[in-house]
Amino acid sequence: MSAPLTIGQASDLVDLSIQKIFLKTSEPENQYKKYFNFRKTEDYYEKDSGLSGLGESDFADENGVIMSDIPVQTYDKTYTQEMVSKLLSITYKMWKFGIKKRDLENITADLRKTDLRKREKLCAERLINSFETTSYTHNGQSGNKTITVSGGDGLGVIDDDHTREDGGTNMNNYVYDGTTYNLPFGYAGLKAAHTTASAFVDPRGNPMPASLDTLVCKKASSVAFKAKEILKAIQNSKIPESNDNDGAGTPAFKILELDYLTQDARWWMFDGSRMDDRNGFQFIESEAVTIDPVNVVYKTKEIQVSSHSLFDLGHNDCARSWVGSKGDSSNPTS
């Protein structure tokens, strides 16, 4: 545990010659709920599963035996609640003559922001490590933690070998135009994303195309700038990246720029109508961020304030609602 903040570490707070002391901290934007399905729980762990529908009807000969059919069980996924927390400790003299006198008590409110920063970072890391990745090492202030990011099929979010529940042909959600995977973002890449999503099927192989309506990329990246140019052309009924007078062949889309993404060229799209309990990323919260009561260590008079929250995140099935591209025209690794 870190030692408490002392006057010696922040002597300006008790220096009367300094008239203004400002609290400088980032203001994280609450974005994770825009691409994660957020829901509450009262349980330590939840397990999702499901049952498929049926196939399609078939012809029956006169007085012949009707073809029978049964559903198949879909993949399951367990979500176990984890606690994240932060402790702020200050010596009593620093609290009395520095923090309180300078009216900086709202420094404790920054504990709420530490929780939001963690949430935004963890959610963005699901995309950073989405390409055929089943686990990664999360770097935190207290050390490293291995986090599993596989879905119900045991594979990563983006993969060309998503297994189908009935044992049918594997599914792909890499952006793919029939020849090239991982197209860079542009009008050709955008059309390829829609083509990829049009090939999605349900657990019995019935067509289940997704209607991609949201692009996710790094804030102020080359993808973000290109997306705004393309979107403007589409909104003006023009073909992006062309002088032709025909209209665009793709619908308009929303752009979600994330602060915590790290790769400039990577991009993803998803179907917002499938951001529900059955599909896509899940954020399951049992306790919202809470500022705990102030604790005074009687032995030293140290002031301690802490925050905590309980949640888990992950996905069971993103293969039918998300597509992704590394933007480098590379082939899948396996």
Pairwise pLDDT comparison (99 vs 221), residue with the higher score: 221
14 SS3 class: helix
Residue 17 has a pLDDT of: 47
Residue 260 has a pLDDT of: 96
Residue 285 pLDDT greater than 90, yes or no: yes
Q: What is the rounded CA–CA span in Å between residue 50 and residue 56?
A: 19
Whether residue 264 contacts residue 270, with contact meaning beta carbons closer than 8 Å, is answered with: no
Pairwise pLDDT comparison (58 vs 85), residue with the higher score: 85
| Nearest alpha carbon to residue 263 among 224, 212, 226 | 224
Residue 143 bridge partners (DSSP): 140
Pairwise pLDDT comparison (312 vs 243), residue with the higher score: 312
Q: Give the pairing type, strands 214-218 and 295-297.
A: unpaired
Residue 5 pLDDT greater than 60, yes or no: no
Domain ranges of the chain: 33-46+75-325
- Tell me the backbone φ, ψ of residue 196, rounded to 5 degrees: -60, -45
Residue 319 pLDDT greater than 90, yes or no: yes
Average pLDDT over residues 220-238: 94
| pLDDT-based confidence at residue 140 (cuts at 50, 70, 90) | confident
Q: What is the rounded CA–CA span in Å between residue 322 and residue 297?
A: 50
Q: What is the rounded CA–CA span in Å between residue 40 and residue 309?
A: 12
| Nearest alpha carbon to residue 153 among 19, 320, 288, 6 | 320
Among the ranges given (14-23, 111-120, 290-299, 303-312), the one the predictor scored with the smallest mean pLDDT: 14-23
**Concatenated DSSP letters for 25-54?**
-------GGGTSEEEE-SSSEEEE--B---
pLDDT one-digit tens code per residue, 59-111: 778 877 777 777 787 888 999 999 999 988 888 887 777 767 555 566 777 88
Q: What is the rounded CA–CA span in Å between residue 263 and residue 246?
A: 33
